[in-house]
Amino acid sequence: MEKRKDFIWKMGGQQGEGIESCGEIMATILAKEGYSLYSQRLFASRIKGGHTTFGLRIALEPIMTVGESVDFLVALDQETVDKHGDEVRHGGYIICDSKVKPDFSKFDGKPIHCLALPISETALKQGTLLMRNIVSLGMSVALLGFEKAPFRDAIAAKFQKKSQEIVDKNLQAFEDGYALVLEQKEQLGAEPDTLPVPEKKDQMFLLGNEAIALGAIAAGSRFMASYPITPASEVMEYMIKKMDKIDATVEQTEDEIASCMTAMGAAYAGVRAFTCTSGPGLSLMAESLSMASMAEIPVVVIDVQRSGPSTGMATKVEQSDINAACHNAHGDYANIVISPTSIEECFYEIQKAFNLAERYQCPVIFMPDLQQGLNKQSVPSFDLNRVPIERGKLVKEADLPALERPHYFKRFELTEDGISPRTIPGMKNGLFLSTGLEHNEEGKPAEAPSMHVSQTDKRFRKLETVADYYDPFLNNADHDACDVLLIGIASSRGALEEAKVRLEADGVKVNHLQLRLIKPFPTKQLLPFYTKAKKVVICEQNATEQLTDMFRIHMPDKDKIASCLKYDGNPFTASYVVNAVKEVL
Amino acid sequence: MTVAADYKNDIRPNWCPGCGHYGVQAAITDALTELNIAPEQMALISGIGCSSRIGGYFYTYGSHTTHGRALPYAQGVKLANDDLTVLVAGGDGDAYAIGVGHTVHAIKRNVNITYIVMDNHVYGLTKGQTSPRSDIGFVTKTSPKGSFETPLPICETAIASGATFVAQSYMINRAELVDLIKKGIQHDGFSFINVFSPCVTYNKRNSYDWFKEHLTSLADVDGYDSSDRSLAMATLHKYDGLLTGLVYHEDNRGSFEEAMASVNGAHAQALVKTVEKPSAELFASLCQEFK
Ligand SMILES: Cc1ncc(C[n+]2csc(CCOP(=O)(O)OP(=O)(O)O)c2C)c(N)n1
Ligand code: SF4
């Protein structure tokens, strides 16, 4: 039998039942052991109650998606089996409470092992149903064949603060669950596969949102202004939690207009400033961003995309802010829009966002999606120095030539590359006026037709080199010519990578690019891959072909473009992409 | 020592002859001169409106932002570079209509900046519409039968929002206004100064004569004590808000910066001085929590 390289474990029940904390214990321990992990939390937009699941893919090699067919499903309630039973693979396992009645007819005739066990009764032996999650954890550890000791340690550590009695009860619940499965295993006959113990790796296990916050800190940013919103709040919460340690100022403002303007004021004053929001907040920032473009202010705005329009589905993933990020601000709006292709990139690419903002002196929209922001992945430990701080044409005060009143510093000088030298308040001999009005080289309001044309051209000319400076996509193209060029953004990377492998196995030649740079559109860099593909399939999580339209606008041979859309709020899976590609071929 | 000319650039204001905003510009110049603030240490942040053009008429750093949003921007400037003197200026439309949410929150937050509102009870730049400060019965293009909404009692609103410094003046009272601006700049926390500044073109009702006739100086109000919150409220009510002078101040609350420092520790220097990577030790300790 082929040795397994990965498992998917999923636990489901009602919000507030400790599903997530149970998953966290499992993941934290396995990450320490050296397994590569990708977790996925599915939850309803309410605080207590409502269906929730925690999925964890446990692998020997790094993985980029939670995957699709579940090996072990732990169901605390009927809803979990009803909703997720059909995700269990042939030969997979369901552990459920004895009261739960799986409807096997729905499972497509798949042979599935079902362990209906007295989860609730076992928990009640310790006096509370609240320990059902710990009982289930014990069951899972037994079934997956992991060492008990680190789990016992983690449980003890988790409840130590409460009392020794609570620690003991939880440990007993864990042991009882463990023992129940061991007994059953013998009766099942089949022994579930186990994963070999991997080599220890220097890795971290964290949310995309946490990786973003660490990235901002690594980029030298110690200023954030923000307003809470799902699925972005964790970034501000982390920054505030660490405010004293990192010597930062983080302000929770009255709304997102204020967040954006406060960050802009701080960026104008010379710090690396950012704000973090989701779609509704991005809409509110539109007018401010238009000013940032006009006044050439290097502000970084993070938009963790969720499902829209309006309040939409706040806890579901979508990639439907592409148009808004590129075009929500009025006028001839010059900005940069980038998107990370993984949780690891949330850390490195946000640092580049700060570099881009200062180099090109314009707003940069950094767009991960909910799937990245709110899910945890194991990543190689971060390298603080991989992305150096680059501040572009920021002038040193000592280098400024003397300035004679009433002349100002030419902050908006019409240079060849369109990028002007930049001073900040406080610099002697660096005075300039900053305004959202059209202005001349010194920043004085100027409405002469020729000046508006020159300054507009300058604001766009400077962006011409962005795609050369910034790596515009993740290159996963190993064929010279291919049948299909797969394009994705943000969290779809893992699904696309796995789809590519499956399609190749069927004899289809597939190249895959995961786009990082959305605006300005990297036509020149895409062309070599694009021209040598028979078909180009653009995978995006929205209904309106927002990314596909960009290809239609910026690329030739529009006939070869097809899109693979998904807008049900759930992330792409490899099978979904494989099916879509097969239809196009 | 600086002199008035140090703050002058060569841009001619595009204000109408006789506009009150000229007087405010002159008073700010006097205050800056008397406080000897170097032009490069000063940032004048404004919104949009005739009044908000004022930043462009000073030879200092300045940012002319968007309608109603000067305050959040200015707070960002100050929090990034504490060494700067940050002055914010705008009109009553800017401050009390589109920007009123920011005004109330800036007052509540108490960042150490000074806000000067040029209150002409009308929208000047857009050529004469009613403002949240317009009197009942005031005829404008958008209130042809006379304004019928009750004007916002702004000093009361400021005090109720937790202001630590509330002043009101009339640009004609130059000495009083200069003194209030100086006090405002020196105040530790957010200082709010509402200045009556007549619009000669679109407000013939609240004219220079009208203000002269209707305003009372707090110096002439017997027993007035600007540190007494309820007295301030009662006096404002009694005079229908038409008072000038230092209305209310509270000196020991401490600014936002101080409050934040008491929780998180003070910054050793202005944030802008050290834009650099964290130390390897600090970064490692942050990462350790995810291992
Ligand atoms: C978002 C937005 N809405 C509307 C306007 C148009 N606008 C410009 S100034 C102004 C009002 C000006 O009145 P006020 O702030 O009292 O200043 P004044 O001109 O009277 O000095 C308006 C409505 C704008 N610039 N931006
Ligand atoms: S319209 Fe009114 S506020 Fe504007 S410049 Fe003229 S007088 Fe001043």
User: How is residue B272 written in tokens?
Assistant: 């802008």
Count other Cβ atoms within 10 Å, centred on residue A404. Answer: 7
| Measured distance CA(A94)–CA(A114) in Å, rounded | 5
pLDDT for B141 equals 97
pLDDT for B232 equals 98
Q: Among the atoms of ligand 1, which is closest to the Cα of residue B94? A: 15
> Could you tell me the CATH number of the domain that includes residue B248?
3.40.50.970
| Measured distance CA(A218)–CA(A221) in Å, rounded | 7
How close is the nearest chain A Cα to the Cα of B113, in Å?
13
Contact A129, A169 (CB under 8 A): no
Contact B57, B27 (CB under 8 A): no
User: Separation of A287 CA from ligand 1 center, angstroms?
Assistant: 14
Contact A430, A395 (CB under 8 A): yes
User: Which residues of A fall within a CB distance of 8 Å from B74?
Assistant: 265
Q: What is the pLDDT of residues A38-82, one digit of tens each?
A: 999 887 767 777 899 999 999 999 999 988 899 999 999 999 999
Grouping H, G, I as helix, E, B as strand and the rest as coil, residue A173 is helix
| Measured distance CA(A128)–CA(A121) in Å, rounded | 9
pLDDT band (50, 70, 90) for residue A293: very high
Q: Is B78's C-beta closer than 6 angstroms to any atom of ligand 2? A: no
pLDDT band (50, 70, 90) for residue A184: confident
Burial class (CB in 10 A: 0-12, 13-18, 19+), A340: buried
User: Which residues of B fall within a CB distance of 8 Å from A30?
Assistant: none
Interface of B with A in 68-107 (CB under 8 A): 69, 71-81, 83-84, 101-102, 105
Q: A54-68, A329-343, A546-560: lowest mean pLDDT where?
A: A54-68
* Residue appearing with tokens 């599903």: A19
pLDDT band (50, 70, 90) for residue A369: very high
Q: Is B20's C-beta closer than 6 angstroms to any atom of ligand 1? A: no
Residue B274 has pLDDT above 80, yes or no: yes
Strands B42-46, B85-91: pairing kind: parallel
| Measured distance CA(A53)–CA(A207) in Å, rounded | 16
Q: What is the pLDDT of residues B43-65, one digit of tens each?
A: 999 999 999 999 999 999 999 99
Q: What is the mean pLDDT of residues B116-124?
A: 98
Name the strand (E) or helix (H) holding A576.
helix A574-584
| Measured distance CA(A535)–CA(A580) in Å, rounded | 12
Separation of first and last alpha carbons in chain A:
34
* Probe residue for ligand 1, chosen from B48, B64, B69, B131 as the CB with the greatest number of ligand atoms within 8 Å: B48
Cis-peptide, bond into residue A192, ω within 30° of zero: no
pLDDT for A1 equals 39
State whether residue B208 sits within 8 Å of chain A by CB: no
Task: List, in sequence order, every residue forming a beta bridge with B191; answer none if it has no partner.
Answer: B114
Name the strand (E) or helix (H) holding A109.
none
pLDDT for A190 equals 67
Contact B81 A425 (CB under 8 A): yes
Q: What angle do CA A223, A225, A228 make, to 5 degrees?
A: 135
| Measured distance CA(A414)–CA(A460) in Å, rounded | 12
| Measured distance CA(A238)–CA(A232) in Å, rounded | 11
Residue B113 C-alpha from the chain's centroid: 8
Q: What is the mean pLDDT of residues A105-116?
A: 78
Contact A262, B76 (CB under 8 A): yes
Residue nearest to atom 1 of ligand 2 (CA): B124
Residue B55 has, within 13 A of its CA and on its CB side, a CA count of: 36
User: Separation of A434 CA from ligand 2 center, angstroms?
Assistant: 22
Q: What is the mean pLDDT of residues A92-115?
A: 82
- For domain A205-380, which CATH number applies: 3.30.413.10, 3.40.50.2300, 3.40.50.970, 3.30.43.10? 3.40.50.970
User: Which residues of B fall within a CB distance of 8 Å from A203?
Assistant: 291
Count other Cβ atoms within 10 Å, centred on residue A426. Answer: 22
Q: Among the atoms of ligand 2, which is closest to the Cα of residue B203? A: 2
CA distances, B44 to each of A206, B47, B59, B88 (Å): 42, 10, 10, 6
Count other Cβ atoms within 10 Å, centred on residue A518. Answer: 21
| Measured distance CA(A79)–CA(B214) in Å, rounded | 72
Q: What is the pLDDT of residues B165-209, one digit of tens each?
A: 999 999 999 999 999 999 999 999 999 999 999 999 999 999 999
Q: What is the mean pLDDT of residues B9-37?
A: 98
pLDDT band (50, 70, 90) for residue A109: low
Q: Would you kindly state where each structural domain of chain A is located, as residue ranges?
A: 6-188, 205-380, 393-470, 472-584
| Measured distance CA(A513)–CA(A106) in Å, rounded | 37
Contact A19, A11 (CB under 8 A): yes
Point out the ligand nearest to the CA of residue B91: 1
Burial class (CB in 10 A: 0-12, 13-18, 19+), A330: exposed
Q: State residue B247 phi and psi, 5-degree precision.
A: -80, -45
Number of separate domains in chain B: 1
| Measured distance CA(A174)–CA(A155) in Å, rounded | 9
Collect all residues with Cβ–Cβ distance below 8 Å to A398 and sequence separation of at least 6: none
* Mean pLDDT of all residues belonging to chain A: 95
pLDDT for A389 equals 98
Q: What is the mean pLDDT of residues B224-230?
A: 98
Point out the ligand nearest to the CA of residue B20: 2
Residue A157 has, within 13 A of its CA and on its CB side, a CA count of: 10
| Measured distance CA(A103)–CA(B12) in Å, rounded | 82
Strands A510-515, A473-476: pairing kind: antiparallel
Matching fold, domains A6-188 and A205-380 = no
* Probe residue for ligand 2, chosen from B15, B121, B122 as the CB with the greatest number of ligand atoms within 8 Å: B15
Name the strand (E) or helix (H) holding B106.
helix B100-109
CA distances, B190 to each of A90, A208, A291 (Å): 67, 37, 25
Give domain A472-584's CATH architecture: 3-Layer(aba) Sandwich (3.40)
CA dihedral A514, A516, A518, A520 (to 10 degrees): -130
pLDDT for B79 equals 98
User: Separation of A14 CA from ligand 1 center, angstroms?
Assistant: 51
Give the rounded percent of residues in chain A with a pLDDT score beyond 90. 88
Residue A103 has pLDDT above 90, yes or no: no
Q: What is the pLDDT of residues A440-493, one digit of tens each?
A: 999 999 999 999 999 999 999 999 999 999 999 999 999 999 999 999 999 999
A6-188 maps to CATH 3.40.50.261: no
| Measured distance CA(A459)–CA(A464) in Å, rounded | 10
Cis-peptide, bond into residue A309, ω within 30° of zero: yes
pLDDT for A113 equals 85
Q: What is the pLDDT of residues A163-179, one digit of tens each?
A: 999 999 999 999 999 99
Contact A251 B75 (CB under 8 A): yes
pLDDT for A16 equals 87
Query: pTM for the complete prediction?
Result: 0.97
Q: What is the mean pLDDT of residues A216-222?
A: 98
How close is the nearest chain B Cα to the Cα of A444, in Å?
7
| Measured distance CA(B241)–CA(B92) in Å, rounded | 15
Cis-peptide, bond into residue B198, ω within 30° of zero: no
Q: What is the pLDDT of residues A124-145, one digit of tens each?
A: 999 999 999 999 999 999 999 8
ipTM over 0.95: yes
List strands edge to edge, sheet with A533-540: A473-476, A510-515, A482-489, A533-540, A561-565
Q: What is the pLDDT of residues B65-75, one digit of tens each?
A: 999 999 999 99
| Measured distance CA(A356)–CA(A162) in Å, rounded | 48
Residue B88 has pLDDT above 70, yes or no: yes
Q: In chain A, whose CA is at the least distance from the CA of B262?
A: A244
pLDDT for A432 equals 98
Burial class (CB in 10 A: 0-12, 13-18, 19+), A559: exposed
Residue numbers of the domain that contains B161: 4-288
Closest C-alpha among A90, A100, A81, A108 to residue A10: A81
Grouping H, G, I as helix, E, B as strand and the rest as coil, residue A247 is coil
| Measured distance CA(A479)–CA(A37) in Å, rounded | 29
How close is the nearest chain B Cα to the Cα of A432, in Å?
6
Q: Residue B174: which region, alpha, beta or left (left: phi > 0; alpha: psi -120 to 50)? A: alpha
Grouping H, G, I as helix, E, B as strand and the rest as coil, residue A224 is strand
Helix axis angle for A149-159 and A164-188, nearest 10°, is 150
